[in-house]
A and B are shown apart, each in its own frame.
Chain A
Amino acid sequence: MERLLPLLVAIPLGGGFLCPVLGKFARNRCWVELLAVLVMALLLALSVGQLVAVDTFAYWVGGWKGGDNPIGISLVSDGLAQLVVLTVNLVGLLAVVFSTSYMRRFTGPGLYYGLFLLMVAGMNAVVIAGDLFNVYVFLEVAAIASYALVAFGTESEELEASFKYLVLGGISSVVILFGIGLLYNLTGQLNLSEIAVALGAMAGDAAAVRVVWFAAGLLLAGFGLKAAMVPFHAWLPDAHPSAPAPISAMLSGVLIKAIGVYVMARLLLNVLPPSAAAGYAVMALGTASMVVGGLLAVGQSDLKRLLAYSSISQVGYVVLALGLAAVLKVRAPGETLVIGLALFGGLFHLVNHAVFKSLLFLCSGAVEQATGTRRMADLGGLAGRMPVTGLCLRVAAMSIIGVPPFSGFWSKVIIVVALAMAGYWTLAVVAVAVSVLTLLMFAKVQRDVLDGEPSACVRDARKAPVAMSLAMVVLAALCLGIGLAVPAFKRHLADPAVTALRAGQGGTPTYPERFRPPVSAERPLAREEVRP
């Protein structure tokens, strides 16, 4: 199973280039759809296999480490990477199944599935990349594919949203690359665990610490922009609703997490030197996103825009919990219980949000296809006309509001409890208050879309096709299933990920010693000796 790790990137890359070719030559679009579904199913099987069979593992591409000072390209599979990869590929498979029916009204299936698979390849590679530069490269692969997918409809709104998304995404990439360049210049390393070790050794050097601060600020801002944290959120409410529904589900459900929150958490908790100030900064980002995203979402009249704003708010919870863990790691390293709770709550909410938000976007796509509108004022009484979609939308809404026993309840409760146990009572109250805001907005969604008398455009609505219903029902079952099986989820999926984030930082290697090349007493390649 270890040797199969690069296939998580290679298969979707290959599939991504095969799809347009097949789309050009195949008579029937079924073949392209079949290929895309097969690729995603294979990826899901691989990520489940990684989870079951593999402990922490580093794969050196080409079997080459690059000697004492590793400059080879490494792919690393640890608990956190496995959890995120599983989430990405699960949501990806269901989005592809949904697309086989939903994308029928668009032309160019080869291009669509090609871009889709490239985006998945980029996300998988970002998550398992062991060095900072490959994180950057594959982040760009995923981002460029997503820019093109947002513009896939090529109507004026979609082009405009894509342009805005691309320019802001471009700025974040530039900032991230600048931060990577600074860290490389300082440490002479790109490998994540080597950077962590080198930065740990520099803790006493004031001039070096200043550069680390600058680089950390750039990286947090860059990945904050990718994750649409509040001061940097302007692109998300345009870009996510403009994309076709399965792409909105991918963007909101997994893309902002895989290339934003995941890398931010990895850098904050595993690579950069432990610092309470960085943790507070991340907590502030999370709190601002939670509150502002929630307030902006309540006022929306367009269903997909409301969902997009609520994504900002929900990702705020995740980032707040991860920031809390970073703060506690410095301020109260003895409080292992609270740190564990904060990390578990954050990661649990990340997975839950991926499930219920992609379900909500898929439901909005089914509704839009059936009625031709996304304006909630024009909808109503859909529960009677589209029972399956209606039920799934209700389940997802319950989950995001946090009604027990749905999954969203547990993760929110854990985050609130962790905040309270750490003594941040105000933030715990704010988190509960935002939960009430979420209740408000999704009560409005249910009232306007599902209940009441069927409006004119709803009267001719037909039930969603089988493929679309299947994808939605599976996600709805997951919302309930994860909620009912929290202990099993924690033991098998979340705990290894929490362990990975708890692991060493600054001085101790992120990844287990045995996977790092032996360090000789004399390190002739060390950067400091090279400088004049």
Chain B
Amino acid sequence: MTGIAACHLSLGAGRAAGLLPYAVALGLLVIGLYAIVAKKNLIKIIVGLLIADYAVNLFLILTGYRPGTEGHAGAPILTDGAQAARTAFLRNTTDPLPQALILTSIVIGLGIVALVVSLAVRLYEKYGTFDVTDIRKLRG
């Protein structure tokens, strides 16, 4: 169980320096959500959505980070397949999976931005404004 405890050190009661990047990601997420809830301009709401999206992308890529034994981690390219080398290799390289995940996530984010911006443009054509308080034909 000690191994597992070490596994989420960076998330739980870890070192202060290790927590800072996560705090930044969480802070960005909160800023994004604030913008979505509080802002009245469609474009600002879209920007808020993007900030929240990128905050989570940042969080994901941070989960793959490894300090490594020599102060910095290498690229995750395994040249030697021997069992003994693998554990050391894993300690000293970043986790490539979150990077693959956020690549996908960024592309999805791009699709959403393209759609939401085109919706905002069409709304502007209909109403002549980006202010959500003026765009209220529907009730909650």
Assign chain B's interface to a size class: 35 or more
Number of residues on chain A facing chain B (CB within 8 A): 56
Complex-state Cα separation, A205 to B12, whole angstroms = 12
Interface centre among B67, B108, B120, B136 (most CB of A within 10 A): B108
Stretch of A177-185, A353-361, A371-379 with 4 or more beta carbons under 8 angstroms from chain B? A177-185
Q: Is B8 within 8 A of A154, CB to CB?
A: no
**Chain A hits for B112, CB < 8 A:** 140, 144, 166, 170
Main secondary structure of the interface of B (DSSP, over half): helix
- B99 CB to closest chain A CB (Å) equals 12
Query: Within the complex, which residue of A137, A148, A204 is in contact with B108, where a contact is CB–CB below 8 Å?
Result: A137
Assuming the A-B contacts A166-B116, A204-B1, are A177 and B105 also in contact, with contact meaning beta carbons closer than 8 angstroms in the complex? yes
From known contacts A159-B119, A171-B33, infer whether A528 and B4 are also in contact, taking CB-CB under 8 Å: yes
Q: Kindly list chain B residues whose C-beta atoms are within 8 Å of the C-beta of A48.
A: none
CB neighbours of A234 from chain B (8 A): 140
CB atoms of A205 and B5 under 8 A apart: yes
Chain A residue contacts of B10, Cβ below 8 A: 185, 531
State which of A207-215, A247-255, A259-267 sits at the interface with chain B. Answer: A207-215
0 or 1 for each of A194-214: is its CB under 8 Å from B? (1 = yes): 000000011011011011000
Contact B63 A184 (CB under 8 A): yes
Which residues of chain A come closer than 8 Å to B136, judged between CB atoms? 160
Can you name 19 extra interface pairs (CB under 8 A) apart from A144-B115, A171-B52, A532-B68? A144-B112, A156-B127, A159-B126, A164-B138, A184-B97, A185-B63, A186-B8, A190-B97, A205-B4, A207-B12, A208-B12, A211-B12, A524-B83, A524-B86, A525-B86, A528-B3, A528-B7, A531-B7, A532-B67
Give chain B's interface residues, CB within 8 Å of chain A: 1, 3-13, 29, 32-33, 36, 42, 45, 49, 52-53, 55-56, 59-60, 63, 66-69, 83, 86-87, 90-91, 95, 97-98, 101, 104-105, 108, 111-112, 115-116, 119-120, 122-123, 126-127, 135-138, 140
Partner-B contacts on A (CB < 8 A): 71, 133, 136-137, 140, 144, 147-148, 151, 154-157, 159-164, 166-167, 170-171, 173-174, 177-178, 181-182, 184-186, 188, 190, 201-202, 204-205, 207-208, 210-211, 234, 237-238, 242, 522, 524-532
